[in-house]
Structure 1
Amino acid sequence: MNRSSSSEAGSNAISGGMRSGDVRCLCAKLSVVRKSWTDDNPGRRFYGCPNPKSNSCDFFKWFDIGRPYGWQKTSLLEARDLIREQEEELKKLRAMVGRDGKEEENKKLRAMIGCDAKEMESKMLQLENENKKLKQELAVSYGKEKMGRQFVIISWVGFVCVTAVVVNALK
């Protein structure tokens, strides 16, 4: 048998996962007993691979011999649907409580960040002004250095010229 026979008309095909005693799957591991929650086989147990997420092993074998029918099948389907509805409602309620509980904390954080943001903004403006001043000082320093280099170069040129004139005059 293949896995598709257990999941014909439902969305949540398996649940549970107790170990079976002696039945091994196709990958030689001990199989686990799970429950099918499809519309055709609600609550019916079957053997399956302990690693259902690995698609390499498609082992499937019914644990329960008979299929559910009649009022038992109807009751199981109703219980399954009720459980799903309640799980969804719980998720919504938890999300609402989580948001409300965190909202107060978020307000406190925003207030703290708001104060810090104003302080940081003033500090940033102060640092930007200091940065501008330092850039201006650096530009002035570069100008002075350039003038110093030019003075040294002109001095050397003058020295060489005077030396050449003196040497030429002594000849």
Structure 2
Amino acid sequence: MTSQEGGSSSASMNPEQKYCMCGKRARMNTSWTYNNPGRRFFTCARPKEATGCHFFEWVDDDFSGRAMAVITHLNHRRLYLEEKLKLVEENLSENDEKRKILQCQVEELTEGRIVMQAENQMLKKQMYFCVCVVVAMVALVLMLK
């Protein structure tokens, strides 16, 4: 990989002193391209700036074919698991929203049940009163005969 090639990398400062042609301390990055997965390299401290010197130097030797295959496989597995985690988190978020909606419905139904129980109690009292009135009227009619 040259300094002109694209690809993903992660950057960190190297404990050993390596300087680019600008005189600045070079940054150590890790390539995550298909051809150089996990391979470290030095680059200019200001590679994205127009004033950068485009310094580039590999830290690591080429990996063996087997090592590259393993690293590539693990990187694909990591990407797959990250995507799966994203889907699980989205599903969790959707389920949390559904749970909140259901919780509101439970609260509304509970309030409705309490109101209906109170109405039922009042209807029982009214029915008891009506039965008492009917019994009293029947008794009164029988007494007047």
Give the TM interval when normalised to the shorter protein.
Answer: 0.5 to 0.7
Gaps of 5+ in 1: 111-171
User: Structure 1 residue 3 and structure 2 residue 3: aligned?
Assistant: yes
Q: 1:120 maps to which residue?
A: none
> Using a 3 Å threshold, how does the CA distance of structure 1 residues 100 and 27 change in structure 2: closer, same or farther?
farther
Which letter maps to 2:89? R
Which letter maps to 1:62? W
Q: 2:86 maps to which residue?
A: 91
Higher mean C-alpha deviation, range 89-98 or range 42-51: 42-51
Superposed displacement of residue 85, structure 1: 0.7
Q: 2:100 maps to which residue?
A: 105
Q: 1:18 maps to which residue?
A: 12
Paired residues for 1:33-72 under 5 Å = 33-50=28-45, 54-56=48-50, 57=52, 58-64=54-60, 66-72=61-67
Find the aligned partners of 2:19 and 2:76 in 1 and give their Cα distance: 32
Whose strand proportion is higher, 1 or 2?
Answer: 1
Gaps of 5+ in 2: 106-145
Superposed displacement of residue 3, structure 1: 1.9
Q: 1:165 maps to which residue?
A: none
Paired residues for 1:141-156 under 5 Å = none
Deviations 1:143-165 (A, max 9, x none): xxxxxxxxxxxxxxxxxxxxxxx
> Using a 3 Å threshold, how does the CA distance of structure 1 residues 106 and 41 change in structure 2: closer, same or farther?
same
Which letter maps to 2:58? W
> Using a 3 Å threshold, how does the CA distance of structure 1 residues 28 and 71 change in structure 2: closer, same or farther?
same
Superposed displacement of residue 47, structure 1: 1.3
How many residues align structurally?
Answer: 104
TM-score by length of 2: 0.56
Whose helix proportion is higher, 1 or 2?
Answer: 1
Find the aligned partners of 2:103 and 2:22 in 1 and give their Cα distance: 55
TM-score by length of 1: 0.49
> Using a 3 Å threshold, how does the CA distance of structure 1 residues 108 and 72 change in structure 2: closer, same or farther?
same
**Who wins on radius of gyration, i.e. which is larger?**
1
Paired residues for 1:100-139 under 5 Å = 100-105=95-100
Superposed displacement of residue 31, structure 1: 2.5
